[in-house]
Structure 1
């Protein structure tokens, strides 16, 4: 891991970090879209661009997210930087689990599976190994159960 990546993981616990990163998400979204998922989060953490269908608008909504690989799938978490409400993309997946991811220049159709029970705990361990600040986000979220999704490919990758 790079020095900058290590520093980012340490800073992730601070409230100001989450507030600052929320402001940078629109720029990260644009960069991710332009590079088709090759450059997201400045390459500091494993990231993908998730495109869901808006539950009210029906329009595509893209969000850069940290992920951890799990077999042929990808694990993402609706931490929302520790805010007390679910992120919109998580609500979109709950309403319609079909989505797409752009990761490392490949676009894949996926189906989101909400993790529960022992599977949720297993995936949680993978997530906090990659981004320890998720433990801090759980405390900040004020008792909200943070959704964990496993994104399972449903078709071949496109470039």
Structure 2
């Protein structure tokens, strides 16, 4: 397996380290919300890039939000998975391969309120930006 490069953001890297070392016993809950680790392939570098993200569920699928705190640009991990939808996921001790895709407008209309329940700040992030914040569905491969 290729070397995985964790987020360069200090607090995120610390969160990931705790999550990996404890199989998610530490780090699965982040300020009351469940988190997973997502590994994408860098669209320019080809490197394996890992970040921690809040998630929800939709049946067997996992749902994440490409909010970047309401930034005017998409997060790099989102741009990576659009380019290469085969991703790695870790939820607590469960590590698996998944396929990522952006939710359709109909799916987003259904999933967005669920994700706002999980992390209410998403609503404020959407209000802060003119960018349409994508909802991403991760399906186990």
Q: TM-score range by the shorter chain?
A: 0.7 to 0.9
- Give the aligned partner of residue 6 of structure 2: none
Higher helix share: 1
Whole-Å separation in 2 of the counterparts to 1:82 and 1:39: 27
- Cα pair 2:28 2:92 within 8 Å, conserved: no
- Cα pair 1:37 1:49 within 8 Å, conserved: no
Q: What runs of 5+ residues in structure 1 fail to find an aligned partner? A: 1-21, 155-159
2:17 pairs with 1:30: yes
2:91 pairs with 1:103: yes
TM-score by length of 2: 0.86
Whole-Å separation in 2 of the counterparts to 1:24 and 1:34: 15
Whole-Å separation in 2 of the counterparts to 1:87 and 1:37: 23
- Give the aligned partner of residue 7 of structure 1: none
Pick from 115, 127, 131: which aligns with 1:144?
131
Pick from 13, 27, 35: which aligns with 1:47?
35
Whole-Å separation in 2 of the counterparts to 1:81 and 1:139: 11
Superposed, 1:66-145 pairs within 5 Å as 66-141=54-129, 143-145=130-132
- Cα pair 1:48 1:101 within 8 Å, conserved: yes
- Flag the 1:114–1:138 CA change in 2: closer, same or farther, 3 A: same
Shift of 1:39: 2.6
2:45 pairs with 1:57: yes
List, as ranges, runs of 4+ consecutive aligned residues in structure 1 with deviation greater than 3 Å.
Answer: none
- Cα pair 2:19 2:92 within 8 Å, conserved: no
Higher strand share: 2
